[in-house]
């Protein structure tokens, strides 16, 4: 998957987040932290080399939190996690 496709998914995520009033401050902080880390990884154009949980696995944990209340956000996060996993991130 190209970086452009990931940027498109991130843009979609940002738009969805802007329109969701029911997110908690912790949800917003978690999503922003992951978005920042994804952007940093894309700029480096290489997957992280440490042993921390992958971005895709952390996104999947967020998906579980959002499934009931935010189905469209859940779909976008799932797609993002899949693409990152395909890239080994």
The answer on pLDDT for 34 being more than 70 is yes
Expressed as residue numbers, the domain containing 53 is 3-86
| 44: three-class secondary structure by DSSP | helix
Q: pLDDT-based confidence at 20, cuts 50/70/90?
A: confident
Q: What is the mean pLDDT of residues 52-62?
A: 77
* C-beta of residue 56 within 8 angstroms of C-beta of residue 82: yes
More confident residue, 80 or 53: 80
Per the structure, the count of domains in the chain is 1
Q: pLDDT-based confidence at 36, cuts 50/70/90?
A: confident
Q: What is the pTM of this model?
A: 0.58
- Which runs of consecutive H residues, i.e. helices, occur in 1-89? 3-18, 25-44, 55-66, 71-86
């Amino acid at each position: 998957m190209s970086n452009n496709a990931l940027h498109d998914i991130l843009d979609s995520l940002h738009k969805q987040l802007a329109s969701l009033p029911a997110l908690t401050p912790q949800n917003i902080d978690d999503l922003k932290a992951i978005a920042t880390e994804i952007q940093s990884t894309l700029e480096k154009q290489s997957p992280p080399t440490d042993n921390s949980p992958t971005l895709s696995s952390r996104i999947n944990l967020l998906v579980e939190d959002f499934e009931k209340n935010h189905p469209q956000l859940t779909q976008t996060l799932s797609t993002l996690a899949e693409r990152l996993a395909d890239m080994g991130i």
